[in-house]
Amino acid sequence: MEKNLEIDVNNVPFKNRIGYGAGDFASNLIFTGFSFFLVYFYTDIINIPAAIVGTIMLVSRLFDGVTDIIMGVIVDRTKSRFGKARPWLLWMAVPFGVSAALVFFVPESNNLTLQVAYIFITYNLVSLFYTAINIPYGVLNSLITNNPYQRSLLNIARAFMANVGVIVVGQLVMPLVGFLGGGKEGWQYAFIILSIISTLLFLITFLSSKENVQPHNAQQHELKPALGALVRNRYWWLALLFGILLFVIMGLTFNSPVYYGKYILKDPSSIGTLIMCLIIPQFPTLFIMPKIVKRWGKRLTCQFGLICLAISYLLIQIDPYNMDLVFASNIIKGIGLAPLIGSFFAILADTVEYGEWKTGLRTEGLVYSAGSFGSKVGIGLGTAMVGWILGIGGYVGSSAAQPESALNAILSVSIYYPLIITVLTFIVLCFYKLDKIFPKILADLDSEKMGS
């Protein structure tokens, strides 16, 4: 079986790229589902105060970041006949699926402390298993190929399949919940189904991938020097900061449609359309991205995406209550998100070679675990901001009408805060210049390998 999986690192076949992308389809069925609906489920179905939910999300993400680093070390030290990253997809697929379904089984109780404890425990449990499968999944990109263009193609396939997952979640979850009886039980059954599908998709990624890239220096590194090498990797720091800011934007973006459609547009049926306007434009954009990345490089491609985001936030301010204008703004936003989502993990992968070139140590697991920590902190902070700002604004869960302050809070997390963070992200990318020197880095590493 393993021989049949041999892949030319300079020409990864389409079926293997899609197979790799299936892992992000699996991830997004769960965590995009969480991003779109979990805060709403807690505030409007279980009636947990929004500020409490926001705090749980952020504290959990910070705790999750510690497990990311630990998992990165574990991956770097894993040895099996399947490699060091790939086997974790096999081992963790089922635990991840089971834990994801448990999140929606909050006990019926008048004891708020009991419910909050259950939410904290189950949310952190699924985050733990997600770390154990997603860190290796991210590392796998740098082990399938070290060709920067092929990595971009892999990440574009990953982003494409992720968007398929987002569409499935955005369009089918609410109707599926209703079809399955609505209320708490409807949400439980819906996410049991999504969890089973997610498990199967991760197994597909395991079966269609192979680790082909070996370190130029195969020595087993101790944790302290490996961490030291990571700290000296300045492009990893830039990628980390870029990731934190990007995922704060995504945390705000993905948590707001359910509130925006219900309370600003006053049409709950518009929620699915808002999500579709974000996702559908990403497909044609991802289709042309390989040529754009090849011509412009990753940095300029990402900055183009950020300009699109800024335009979308400025456009919607003309009339935030005009449904057609909001849909148009989301379409532009979707175009902007595609190059950002499609390039982030490729940028992170390139910092692996830079770190090896600069320090002599290759630490894929640590690079991706720390990068994943940044993305999770970003998502956690963005999600927490939604809960906190809604709480400050006086949002009342499951209420048919919200006070003016709550409506202003929804507008803030949907428009104003994302715009500010978009500008900051653009500035950070101005300092990223790895695209220009990466060919020399690969040439130097290859020369070192041939000379050893």
Determine the pLDDT at residue 412. Answer: 96
What fold does the segment set 16-210+221-451 form as a domain?
A: Growth Hormone; Chain: A; (1.20.1250)
Residue 200 has pLDDT above 90, yes or no: yes
Query: In this predicted structure, what is the pLDDT of residue 111?
Result: 94
Write the pLDDT tens digit of every residue in 147-157.
Answer: 878 887 888 88
Per-residue model confidence (pLDDT) at position 324:
96
- What average pLDDT does the structure give for the chain? 88
Say if residue 369's pLDDT is above 60: yes
pLDDT of amino acid 203: 97
* pLDDT recorded at residue 24: 94
Q: What is the pLDDT of residues 89-108, one digit of tens each?
A: 999 999 999 999 999 999 99
Residues 249-263: tens digit of each pLDDT: 998 998 889 899 999
d(CA 434, CA 343): 13
Reported confidence tier of residue 222, pLDDT bands at 50, 70, 90: low
Highest-scoring range by mean pLDDT, 68-82, 323-337, 389-403, 437-451 = 323-337
Q: Give 1's pLDDT tier (boundaries 50, 70, 90).
A: very low
Q: How confident is the model at residue 231 (pLDDT cuts 50, 70, 90)?
A: confident
Q: What residue spans define the domains of the chain? A: 16-210+221-451
* Per-residue model confidence (pLDDT) at position 7: 57
> Which pLDDT does position 290 carry in this prediction?
79
Average pLDDT over residues 163-180: 90
Q: Are 394 and 115 in contact (CB under 8 A)?
A: no
Is the pLDDT at 397 greater than 70, yes or no? yes
The structure's pTM equals 0.74
How large is the average pLDDT for residues 22-48?
Answer: 91
Q: What's residue 3's pLDDT?
A: 47
